[in-house]
Amino acid sequence: MLYLPEIKPSAIDKWKSAVIGLVAALTAVAAGESSARRSGPARAQAIDMVVIHSTGGPTCDGRTGRPVWIGAGTLAENLRRIEAHPTLGVHHMIDRDGTLRASVPEDQLAHHVHRFSGRSIAIELVNDGDGRDPFPSAQIASLVDLLRDITRRRGIERRGIKLHSDLDAATMPCARSQRRKVDPGAAYPHEAVLDRVFGAF
């Protein structure tokens, strides 16, 4: 799940309304998705990291002020939401069936993880991120192929493939005892993926 700036629960309803309004405005345009933001600013840092995310994860409910879990959603709706956001971005997203979609070009900055976006490439996997939702073999195979390509082109080593939860240990503003970023979750087979990426080709 992408990095979101810390938002007080009382401000979440306003934030949701703004995002919904922006999405509605974009979809009302005849060009549709061609109006969405699929670019970012130029990078100021060299790329030495890839960060693996899941589309689902915890957040604070604006009505109750309590933590809730957002499900995986679909590839199309996740890309629409991210590309309509004024600052957030992702470089690649992989659906459960292995379908791969690119968004922000890798050479441009996409804000996806606090403090590390400038030096990293973001890959989102459509998954609940709760440690129980399985990652299908087709999705993992597509991820392995993409990681092989990125690491060869960019010279990224095994230790440069990170989980979102490795990099963001902040807690939720509505539940200070709970981590806000736990994705991609315990069901994601990280070491097995790395073995396939960096093993014999």
Query: What confidence tens digit (pLDDT) does each residue in 64-74 have?
Result: 999 999 999 99
The predicted model gives 180-185 an average pLDDT of: 97
CATH of domain 9-198: 3.40.80.10
The predicted model gives 173-178 an average pLDDT of: 96
111 beta partners: 88
* Percentage of the chain modeled with pLDDT above 70: 81
Per-residue pLDDT of 21-51, as tens digits, reads 333 333 332 223 333 457 899 999 999 999 9
What sign does the dihedral 185-189-194-196 (CA atoms) show?
A: negative
What residue spans define the domains of the chain?
9-198
Residue-by-residue DSSP string for the chain: --------HHHHHHHHHHHHHHHHHHHHSTTGGGGS----PBPSS---EEEEEES-EEEE-TTT-SEEEE----HHHHHHHHHHSSSB--SEEE-TT--EEE-S-TTB--B-STTTGGGEEEEEE-S--SSSS---HHHHHHHHHHHHHHHHHHT--GGGEEEHHHH--PEETTEEEEES--TT-TTS-HHHHHHHHHS--
Give this prediction's pTM: 0.82
pLDDT above 60 (res 105): yes
d(CA 21, CA 35): 15
The torsion angles phi and psi of 162, rounded to 5 degrees, stand at -115, 155
96: which 2 tokens? 């459960």
